[in-house]
Amino acid sequence: MPSAQCEPVTGLVLSGGGARAAYQVGVLAAIAELLPDGAQNPFPVIVGTSAGAINAVGLACGALRFCEAIQSLTRVWQGFRTGQVYRADWSGVVSQALRFIGHSLLGLGKRQPVALLDSGPLRHLLEREMDFSGISAAVRQRHLRAVAVTAFGYESGQAVTFYQGRATIEPWLRHRRLGVPTRLKLEHLLASSAIPLLFAPIKVLREYFGDGAVRQQAPISPALHLGANRVLVIGVSGNPVNGDPNAPVAQPQTGLPPTLAQVGIHLLNSTFIDSLEGDIEQIERLNQIGRLMPDDVRRKVQGLAPVEVLVVSPSRPLDEIAAQYRHELPRSLRLFLRGPGATRASGAGVLSYLLFEPGYCNELIRLGYHDAMQKRAELERFLGLDGQEEMPS
């Protein structure tokens, strides 16, 4: 991690979570509204994982016109349909399910990556919407220091952060995680957002990669390696943050065995949420330890430079919102997911990751906007909009 720097360098961390990433767009829309007219990109370092990687690269591609880039992201998410991300028609769902059973369970056919859902439409969408040349232009004109996406290597077992930025940024190697400089392409985004089993892994160079949230022990760390010393984290946790975090969560006890959807949501939450929340807690503990040490000692110990972290995350449970909009899911997928229990209220957590439909996505955008505005004073202070400090560069 970088040592303390005189000049603040602000990083933006966008976590993963499938359709939940619509929430991030609402927060970003609020930030765009708070910025003065003609303001430059306030986040020199942008880092994303899974669906957050798509949002992160979308911002980086338009970093020269930051507010317009947010408007473009908002437009895409407001008009989302499930069929734009993965095939939701009857023939597509049935043929993919048969292909998955034949290939993965019966061992039939050639050795090629197969998953439960066909994410071919997402490739076409990103090809149409992303202009990767904008990243190089933003870095060259110093509107962007670096942008990074993280993917998980199925053979190496490492969380690999692919980053594009200034030539002065050194690669890094830590336990099961490393940073690799590259020119970001479509394959990096598809790999980072390939949720295991649901979406097929993507080959990058000589290895197949999947969702970067898998085994990503320190989601904030890439932003620090890229030079950030203060970080805005937009999370997609389904747990409200306004109450006591140590208070027990009341759950109805039915005595029934868990459905496949209930098992799946715990696996998804452990992948997308737990590491991020644990990393935030660790940074806060290190900040506390650093404050107890004399300045000369703290400067000599790597990793104790203070890191300011501001978190914006949902104030309402996202699985409850998904349950309200489960009727929007195409009929073919409702039938496909009914058996595992994902269409029941108890399995709505799975839908919260897969429900790429206008009603649900727009509700999350509104929630993100609302939650950001509830933290307006904190965001204005963090971004230097309160007149007390200059905009970070």
**pLDDT, mean of residues 19-34:** 95
Q: DSSP character for 144?
A: -
Where residue 381 falls among pLDDT bands split at 50, 70, 90?
very high
Q: At residue 258, does pLDDT exceed 80?
A: no
- Rounded CA-CA distance 326/355 in Å is 7
266-294 confidence digits (pLDDT tens): 666 666 665 666 666 777 766 666 666 66
Marked catalytic residue, from 50, 192, 332, 352: 50
Handedness of CA 356, 360, 364, 369 (dihedral sign): positive
Per DSSP, the residues of 61-87 read: HTGGGHHHHHHHHHHHHHT--GGGTS-
Provide the 10 A C-beta neighbour count for residue 28: 29
Pairing of strands 177-181, 159-165: parallel
In the beta sheet, which residues pair with residue 308?
230
Query: According to the model, what pLDDT value does residue 205 have?
Result: 87
- CB-CB contact of 194 with 202 (8 Å): yes
- CB-CB contact of 25 with 374 (8 Å): no
| Percent of the residues in the chain that have a pLDDT greater than 90, as a whole number | 50
Closest CA to 124 of 151, 95, 93, 85: 85
Q: Which long-range contacts (CB under 8 A, 24 or more apart) does 331-334 make?
A: 332/88, 332/89, 332/90, 332/92, 332/93, 332/94, 333/82, 333/88, 333/93
Structure tokens at 188: 């990096």
Marked catalytic residue, from 15, 118, 192, 211: 211
Q: At residue 72, does pLDDT exceed 70?
A: yes
Nearest 5°: the CA angle 125, 129, 132 is 120
Q: At residue 147, does pLDDT exceed 50?
A: yes
**pLDDT, mean of residues 371-386:** 93
- Rounded CA-CA distance 60/363 in Å is 25
Closest CA to 2 of 112, 146, 106: 146
The yes-or-no answer on residue 279 being catalytic is no
Query: According to the model, what pLDDT value does residue 23 have?
Result: 96
- CB-CB contact of 148 with 179 (8 Å): yes
Structure tokens at 83: 């069929």
The yes-or-no answer on residue 72 being catalytic is no
Q: Torsion over CA of 23, 269, 264 and 322, rounded to 10 degrees?
A: -30
Query: According to the model, what pLDDT value does residue 285 have?
Result: 65
Where residue 244 falls among pLDDT bands split at 50, 70, 90?
very low
Query: According to the model, what pLDDT value does residue 116 have?
Result: 82
294-333 confidence digits (pLDDT tens): 666 555 555 567 788 899 999 999 988 988 998 898 888 7
52-68 confidence digits (pLDDT tens): 999 999 999 999 999 99
